[in-house]
Amino acid sequence: MKNEAVKIYQSNTINLLMQFDTKHNAAYGDMFQLQYFVGKEDNGLYISVRPPQNYTGDLTMEDFAFTGTTHRLLTYIRELFTLRKTEEIDFSVKDYMLRCELKDRKQARKQLERDLFALLAVVYTSPRGRAAILDSFDMHHGRVYAVLNQGFVDEMAKQDYFLLPMEYFSLNRQKYNYAPALLYYMVMLKYLNKNKTNKDRISIRSLLAYGKFPTIEEVRATRNNSIKGRIVEPFFRNLNALSSVARFKFHDERGNKLTQEEVQQLQYDDMLRVIIHIEWK
């Protein structure tokens, strides 16, 4: 990987948090606390989302939504911790906007505050015990000040890291809403399989699942039930958004390389059998 990248600590628990979002994960609970489960039954993460203790604002549970922009902020905070090794994190709104290539300062500050509240609202239970992400945060004079929960610090202090391309932060999440998750998943699997020959190979089936594309059953159950328009075309559009960091070659289940014309003609069922070979730039 020759493109500029940042070093971030990772662990199974953190990677599960990066899979979590309040829109796609099934929830149970009430209007004051929602419960979620992410991962496999024997190695998953129980997550609670509730208004922070002593919070007196007028936000609803929907305002604590954990989304793609929350993942971006969490990753930025992980990067800062990796660099500074302290639970007290501070950064300027301007620097964050530059990193993410955000133009509207008012909108960026509003989204940043929402994402900080989303991080503050999360409590999770892992095999290591119960922990939160943030203990507190404050925003004033154009800067963010946050205190990481000790449990989350301990999770990152394993000093196990991978390199994430800088493009992860600047991807246009409105135009390419799946692309950041696809990139993160590719990098994560490259690290987890670093001693294996398949470290840069991944199936379209697994990318669709990790990226939380709608399932074929979900598409058929809606009025806009075009599988091509809801799954096939969005997948390739979001994958092409990553062309600055990697080249992708497509192979069938027998290992035969597909031509560009064959890739363009892929139907949904055919896609599920395709393996992508990744060449990092």
Q: Which two tokens stand for residue 50?
A: 């509730």
41 strand-pairing partners: none
Q: What is the pLDDT of residues 147-158, one digit of tens each?
A: 999 999 998 887
Q: What is the pLDDT of residues 93-111, one digit of tens each?
A: 999 999 999 999 999 999 9
Predicted local confidence at residue 41, as pLDDT: 79
122 strand-pairing partners: 49
Residue 127 and residue 142 in contact, taking contact as beta carbons nearer than 8 Å: no
Q: Which residues of the chain have pLDDT under 50?
A: none
Q: What's the whole-model pTM score?
A: 0.92
Q: How many CA atoms lie within 13 A of 197 on its CB side?
A: 0
Q: Which two tokens stand for residue 224?
A: 């806009």
